[in-house]
A and B are shown apart, each in its own frame.
Chain A
């Protein structure tokens, strides 16, 4: 595995770098790191569905919301332990994703985008209005934090350790999928669906797999979010967030695993870095995003020249990589 190995090594360096960083930066920055990581998890999930399999899904924030509301309700209403509630919420969200996937994944292109958009909006309408269940626009408060070995995980640094570990595990999972036929199939699907069918791949099942794995990652992001901010409201999971995840993916580098992490970091930190500009900071942020889109077509990932995909090279320079079998 050639370019994947290079990308993996850069990713590992980045993750280790973030870990080291959290010891030296301010607590506010660590909070931002936590927020970026939580977003990165959701965007990593989106990469399976869209970056690889080409499913234009605008429902990722809704799946994050399913995870968040699931665990929030199970802990605050049913009194379950946060870890257990989170696990249940993740499983529940994946079932929801499968149910939603069955009818909607038959739609193509823009229609899928709009169906998932509608879904996300419906999620928002229901969570805002079903007050008895969800607290409506007031949201759900006093969501308990995780506890581990007698310690409550509520400081920024403590939560960083948890979320960083989750990110590392999920990143490695993504690389393992990439290195298997499942990853290849999903990528093939977007590149040429007909050729994928002609290779004997069950395209319907592949789409479901990409969509569901994406939703599982989103649910993980959701449970982390809920137990990190201890408060959720419908506005945290609106369709704008879905578009933000998509933007993070495209800005970072769609179709890669490093890209989602870079994109989440940039889109979270850049507005903060721009705050000194005062009231205009969001406008500048939007303008910078447009510039990135114009001048970096493949996303931030291509800033690292090391990661440019290999072109056909002089055979004499190629290292032997054939397996002995």
Chain B
């Protein structure tokens, strides 16, 4: 029993990180139709901004976190301006290839700046453990759950209870009409990318202490985010959260009970299953299919 609880909490914690990445991914997709292949690299950059602030500049943790988030917001804005804006009117696939190329640039620039050696990021909870119902759980994982829950609630509030959120949803539903209604669509889109970058940054900060800060982690993370989005439902914000949790749980339980070598494979096979049987995911829109 204690073992199961431990696995569950660890799975949910990992899943929460995936959920945050998937959230950033989904808000960009619903607003612009762009599948951001650099989503994993966004998280990586977030982790390394933390590395620079904490390990290299030696800033106290709270200051470093703020610095990282500010840095990520700026990064999101830069990505919007340099990659998205020039390609905005092109077919979506061109923009997607653009994000792929951007991911390459990001990853290799990261290598240039920080080298290929992974860094250890300290957790603000300095490896403290908690004992719950007979299972030993890192405090950091509990913190991940709390932070993610707060962010998700905050995001819900933003999207559904503020004017900014309505503008975002309007832009996502029909960009041209939103523009005609006087919504500053370009600013909303810029904000969307910034928000996605921030979510990725938080994910990076939370993930760093568990996984090491590694320049090559982007690809694997992006795939988990995709799997989460498929399972949860492609256009769906609650779907991203649920999907992320699902992927995290599958990975942890799969690694423990079936095989740890195949652990990455479980999420993808799950994703495949959904695609064949229920492509709209748990929450997604119905897709018209013609035989």
Please report A residues at the B interface, Cβ cutoff 8 Å.
56, 103-104, 106-108, 110-111, 113-115, 117-119, 121-122, 125-126, 129, 203-204, 239-240, 243, 246-247, 250-251, 279-280, 282-283, 285-287, 289-290, 293-294, 297
Report whether A103 and B276 are in contact in the complex, using a CB–CB cutoff of 8 Å: yes
Besides A108-B287, A283-B105, A290-B83, 14 more A-B contacts (Cβ < 8 Å) are A106-B289, A107-B289, A111-B275, A113-B35, A114-B275, A250-B94, A282-B104, A286-B108, A289-B97, A289-B101, A290-B102, A293-B90, A294-B87, A297-B90
> What chain B residues lie within 8 Å of A106 (beta carbons)?
289-291
Across-interface contacts of A287 in B (CB, < 8 A): 101, 105
Q: Which residue of B lies closest to A295 (CB)?
A: B86
Contact of A111 among B101, B264, B265, B287 (CB under 8 A): B287
How near does chain B come to A236, taking the closest CB pair, in angstroms?
15
Other-chain contact of A110, B35, B90, B276, B290 (Cβ < 8 Å): B35
- Known contacts A114-B271, A122-B265: A286-B101 contact under CB 8 Å: yes
Q: In the docked arrangement, what's the CA distance between A285 and B223, Å? A: 23
Chain A nearest CB, measured from B155 CB (Å): 23
List B residues 105-133 near A (Cβ within 8 Å): 105, 108-109, 111-112
Residues of A contacting B87 with CB < 8 Å? Answer: 293-294
Contacts of B142 in A (CB 8 A): none
- Complex Cα gap A114–B281 (Å): 12
Q: Are B226 and A247 in contact (CB under 8 A)?
A: no
Whether, in the assembled complex, B254 has its beta carbon less than 8 Å from a beta carbon of chain A, the answer is: no
Task: Please name all residues of chain A whose beta carbon is closer than 8 Å to the beta carbon of B104 when the two chains form the complex.
Answer: 282-283, 285-286, 289
Give Cα A129 to B263, complex, Å. Answer: 11
Using a CB–CB cutoff of 8 Å, the interface residues on chain B facing chain A are: 35, 37, 82-83, 86-87, 90, 93-94, 97-98, 100-105, 108-109, 111-112, 219, 223, 226-227, 230, 234, 261-262, 264-265, 268-269, 271-272, 275-276, 279, 287-291
Contact B265 A125 (CB under 8 A): yes
Distance in angstroms from A289 CB to nearest chain B CB is 4
- Bound-state CA distance A122–B111 (Å) is 28
CB-CB under 8 A from B269, the residues of chain A are 118, 122
Docked pose: A125 CA to B103 CA in angstroms? 22
In the complex, what distance in Å separates the CA atom of A235 from the CA atom of B287?
Answer: 33
| Residues in A neighbouring B101, C-beta threshold 8 A | 247, 286-287, 289-290, 293
Contact B234 A110 (CB under 8 A): yes
Q: List 29 A-B contacts (CB under 8 A).
A: A56-B93, A103-B276, A107-B279, A111-B275, A111-B287, A113-B35, A114-B226, A114-B275, A115-B276, A118-B268, A118-B271, A121-B268, A122-B265, A122-B268, A122-B272, A125-B264, A126-B265, A129-B262, A243-B97, A279-B111, A279-B112, A282-B104, A283-B112, A287-B105, A289-B101, A290-B98, A293-B87, A293-B101, A294-B86
Q: Which residues of A contact B82 (CB under 8 A)?
A: 290
Contact A114 B94 (CB under 8 A): no
* Residues of chain B lying within 8 A (CB to CB) of residue A204: 291
Q: Which residues from A are CB-within-8-Å of B291?
A: 106, 204
Would B262 and A286 count as touching, CB distance under 8 A?
no
Candidates A103, A115, A129, A246; contact of B261 at CB < 8 Å: A129
Residues in B with CB closer than 8 Å to A293 are 87, 90, 94, 97-98, 101
The interface residues of chain A lying within 8 Å CB-to-CB of B108 are 279-280, 282-283, 286
Interface centre among B97, B227, B290, B291 (most CB of A within 10 A): B97
**B residues near A111, Cβ cutoff 8 Å:** 234, 275, 279, 287
Q: Which residues of B contact A294 (CB under 8 A)?
A: 86-87, 98
Query: In the complex, which residues of chain A have a beta carbon less than 8 angstroms from the beta carbon of B102?
Result: 286, 290
Instruction: Given A107-B275, A108-B289, A110-B35, decide whether A243 and B100 contact each other with a Cβ distance below 8 A.
Output: yes
Instruction: Kindly list chain B residues whose C-beta atoms are within 8 Å of the C-beta of A246.
Output: 93, 97
Which B residues lie within 8 Å of A243 (CB)?
37, 97, 100
| Chain B residues near A119 (CB-CB < 8 A) | 272
Q: How far is the CA of A271 from the CA of B102 in the complex (A)?
A: 15
- How many Å lie between the Cα of A324 and that of B29 in the bound state? 54
Shortest C-beta distance, B200 to chain A (Å), equals 19
Most chain B C-beta atoms within 10 Å of own C-beta, residue among A110, A126, A250: A110
| Complex CA–CA separation, A119 to B279 (angstroms) | 14
**Is the beta-carbon distance between A247 and B97 smaller than 8 angstroms?**
yes
Quick one: closest A residue to B33, CB to CB?
A: A110
A-B pairs with the 8 shortest C-beta distances?
A286-B105, A286-B104, A125-B265, A289-B101, A282-B108, A118-B272, A283-B108, A115-B275
In Å, the complex CA distance between A44 and B103 comes to 25
Select the residue from A117, A243, A297 with max chain B CB neighbours within 10 A.
A117
Contacts of B289 in A (CB 8 A): 106-108
Residues on B with C-beta less than 8 A from A108 are 287-289
B108 to chain A, nearest CB (A): 4
How far in angstroms is the closest Cβ of chain A from B261? Answer: 6
B94 surroundings in chain A (CB, below 8 A)? 250, 293, 297
B262 near A125 (CB under 8 angstroms)?
yes
A253 to B35, CA, bound (A): 21
Known A-B contacts A104-B276, A279-B111, A282-B108; the reply to A250 vs B262 at CB < 8 A is no
CA distance A285 to B102 in the complex (A): 10
Whole-angstrom CA separation of A110 from B104 in the bound complex: 22
Point out the residues of chain A lying under 8 angstroms from B234, CB to CB: 110-111
C-alpha spacing A246/B101, complex, angstroms: 12
* Closest Cβ neighbor of A294 among chain B residues: B86
